[in-house]
């Protein structure tokens, strides 16, 4: 066993850990980046990159089937899952290797490919060797959760990672969980040709969204031929002859039996703190396994910081990356940034997309603010009509006094991009009247802001 001292150690090469390791090294800190699996973490390897690559394949299948709507006749549509998977693997591989090259070629960074575990205050065991340091950054992320449902272990299940390795289209995909992961895969596999049933315990899909948004999402999925069961809890799982899976669910109507060929479990993510042996360094995970930090990402132990999903709160790539920027600003550039002053935008990559930023209407009401809501169906947007993609609506919450935009939900074609335009208006603290009266190029989706805000 050897013991090596580093100026700084980053555990986990996720969306924060990778760039942070190179920034620390460039600032003159001899840095170890410890990664037990893949450089790039969840986003590149198992999250955003592969899912959005496969969502794109599914959308092509959808548009190919709709060819006749546009006057384009096509033959029968066939899905080649091996090719879909290879395209996904190729894009993941290219993203991962370029991010790996960037890190490995940075002088001052040692990449240690093993699991890190605390064995003392600021002492880490990595394989056979130990590392000491004063400065530690924990970016270990989360993994798919496996809920305790009787019988779940008696059948093969899929999670958000393994489902992307399928080489055939499931005949009937049962999806447990109506969060964004369950919905993206549910719609994707419906478009690949599976029968899909989504089981959601709560009263709405995407539990944090306003009811009108969640209802519209459910309507869109149902229109696509997906069975969406709300207020429905999984009671038990049973294997059925021939390798099929029976999911027994309970709802107000009583017990119901669903039978499928595959079961995707998408009920949330478990933080990767269990392998870290945090108490050895004086830290304690919370009841759900997250490692809490203050608004500057400092943990309870001086010199140990936590970044990304493992700290709890919004779990998105751009948030993890911004955690890196906060640490860089505060530790390497003498600044004083906190997590409190940042927006949390996100996009759900169902089709049409749901782009979200800021306050929902529910949150504005709960906060007791005086607000107005501007809402307009995508079927009133010229561009959406021209491309025949009119599902969804634009909804913006506006402060009644300042006329500033407080939040937006854009459920519609390119909803993520439209939401981002509204986010820029929020950065600039523009009153909504500026967008109402602005000259936008015709026919863009952006020009819909004229009519949307004219409804106020
Ligand atoms: C299916 C899916 C789709 C998603 N889609 C989106 C999306 O569209 N947009 C978006 O913004 N976000 C999306 N996310 C979320 C996004 O992937 C994460 O928020 C993002 O990856 C941030 O992760 P992170 O930096 O916290 O850590 P991660 O990227 O999870 O990296 C943590 C790393 O730490 C390593 N590690 C863990 N424990 C140890 C240890 N003890 N020793 C050494 N190494 C360790 C892991 O191997 C991993 O590489 C998606 C997630 C999933 C699962």
Pocket test for ligand 1, best of 141, 142, 177 (most atoms within 8 A of CB): 141
Mean pLDDT of 142-166: 97
Q: What is the pLDDT of residue 86?
A: 98
Mean pLDDT of 423-436: 98
Find out whether 158 and 176 touch, Cβ atoms under 8 Å: no
Per DSSP, the three-state class of 277 is coil
**Closest to 82 measured CA to CA, from 201, 218, 192, 183:** 192
355/362 Cα distance (integer angstroms) = 16
182-230: per-residue pLDDT in tens? 999 999 999 999 999 999 999 999 999 999 999 999 999 999 999 999 9
118-146: per-residue pLDDT in tens? 999 999 999 999 999 999 999 999 999 99
Our answer on whether the CB atom of 404 is closer than 6 Å to any ligand 1 atom is: no
- The contacts found for 427-430 with CB under 8 angstroms, 24 or more apart, are 427/343, 429/402, 429/404, 430/404, 430/405
Residues pairing with 324 in the sheet: none
Pocket test for ligand 1, best of 37, 47, 305 (most atoms within 8 A of CB): 47
316-365: per-residue pLDDT in tens? 999 999 999 999 999 999 999 999 989 999 999 999 999 999 999 999 99
Question: Given a cut of 90, is residue 412 above it in pLDDT?
Answer: yes
425/447 Cα distance (integer angstroms) = 14
Could you tell me the two tokens for 165?
């390795």
Identify the helix (H) or strand (E) that includes residue 5: strand 3-5
Match 């410890």 to its residue by tokens: 34
Our answer on whether the CB atom of 100 is closer than 6 Å to any ligand 1 atom is: no
- Mean pLDDT computed over every residue of the chain: 97
Our answer on whether the CB atom of 44 is closer than 6 Å to any ligand 1 atom is: no
Mean pLDDT of 263-286: 98
Q: What is the pLDDT of residue 341?
A: 82
Q: What is the pLDDT of residue 263?
A: 98
Mean pLDDT of 34-55: 97
Q: What is the pLDDT of residue 103?
A: 98
Could you tell me the two tokens for 347?
């996009």
Residues pairing with 136 in the sheet: 9, 304
Per DSSP, the three-state class of 16 is coil
Find out whether 359 and 406 touch, Cβ atoms under 8 Å: yes
Report phi then psi at 111, rounded to 5: -95, 120
Our answer on whether the CB atom of 11 is closer than 6 Å to any ligand 1 atom is: yes
Q: Find the distance separating the first CA and the last CA of the chain, reported in whole Å.
A: 69
218/221 Cα distance (integer angstroms) = 5
Q: Is residue 442 flagged as an active site residue?
A: yes
Q: Is the peptide bond before 352 cis (omega within 30 degrees of 0)?
A: yes
Cα(129) to ligand 1 centroid in Å equals: 26
- Residue located nearest, by CA, to atom 37 of ligand 1: 140
Q: What is the pLDDT of residue 306?
A: 98
Per DSSP, the three-state class of 229 is strand
Mean pLDDT of 51-79: 96
pTM for the model: 0.97
**Closest to 8 measured CA to CA, from 32, 28, 26:** 32
């Amino acid at each position: 066993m050897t013991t090596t001292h580093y100026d700084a150690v980053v555990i986990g090469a996720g969306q924060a850990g990778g760039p942070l390791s190179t920034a620390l090294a460039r600032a003159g800190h001899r840095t170890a980046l410890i990664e037990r699996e893949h450089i790039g973490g969840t986003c590149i390897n198992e999250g955003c990159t592969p899912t959005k690559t496969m969502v794109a394949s599914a959308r092509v299948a959808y548009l190919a089937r709709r060819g006749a709507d546009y006057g384009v006749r096509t033959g029968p549509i066939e899905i080649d899952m091996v090719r879909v998977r290879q395209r996904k693997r190729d894009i993941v591989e290219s993203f991962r290797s370029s991010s790996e090259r960037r890190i490995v070629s940075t002088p001052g960074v040692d990449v240690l490919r093993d699991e890190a575990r605390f064995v003392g205050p600021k002492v880490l065991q990595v394989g056979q060797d130990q590392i000491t340091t004063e400065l530690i950054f924990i970016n270990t992320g989360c993994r798919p959760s496996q809920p305790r449902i009787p019988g779940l272990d008696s059948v093969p299940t899929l999670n958000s990672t393994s489902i992307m390795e399928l080489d055939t289209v499931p005949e009937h995909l049962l999806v447990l969980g109506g969060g964004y992961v369950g919905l993206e895969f549910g719609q994707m596999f419906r478009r690949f040709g599976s029968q899909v049933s989504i089981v959601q315990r709560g009263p709405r899909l995407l539990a944090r969204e306003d009811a009108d948004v969640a209802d519209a999402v459910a309507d869109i999925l149902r229109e696509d031929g997906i069975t969406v069961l709300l207020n429905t809890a999984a009671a038990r799982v049973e294997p059925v002859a021939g390798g099929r899976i029976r999911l027994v669910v309970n709802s107000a109507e009583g017990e119901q039996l669903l039978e499928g060929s595959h079961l995707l479990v998408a009920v949330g993510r478990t933080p990767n703190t269990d392998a870290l042996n945090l108490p050895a360094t004086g830290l304690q995970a919370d009841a759900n396994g997250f490692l809490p930090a203050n608004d500057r990402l400092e943990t309870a132990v001086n010199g140990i910081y936590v970044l990304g999903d493992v700290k709890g709160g919004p779990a998105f790539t751009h948030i993890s990356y911004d955690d890196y920027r906060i640490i860089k600003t505060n530790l390497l550039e003498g600044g004083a940034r906190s997590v409190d002053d940042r927006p949390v935008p996100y996009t759900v990559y169902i089709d049409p997309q749901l782009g979200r930023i800021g306050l929902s209407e529910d949150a504005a009401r709960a906060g007791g603010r005086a607000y107005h809501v501007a809402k307009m169906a995508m079927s009133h947007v010229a561009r959406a009509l021209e491309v025949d993609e009119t599902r969804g609506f634009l909804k913006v919450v506006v402060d009644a006094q300042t006329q500033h935009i407080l939040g937006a939900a854009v459920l519609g074609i390119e909803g993520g991009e439209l939401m981002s335009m509204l986010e820029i208006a929020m950065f600039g603290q523009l009153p909504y009247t500026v967008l109402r009266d602005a000259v936008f190029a015709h026919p863009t989706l952006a020009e819909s802001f004229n009519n949307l805000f004219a409804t106020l």
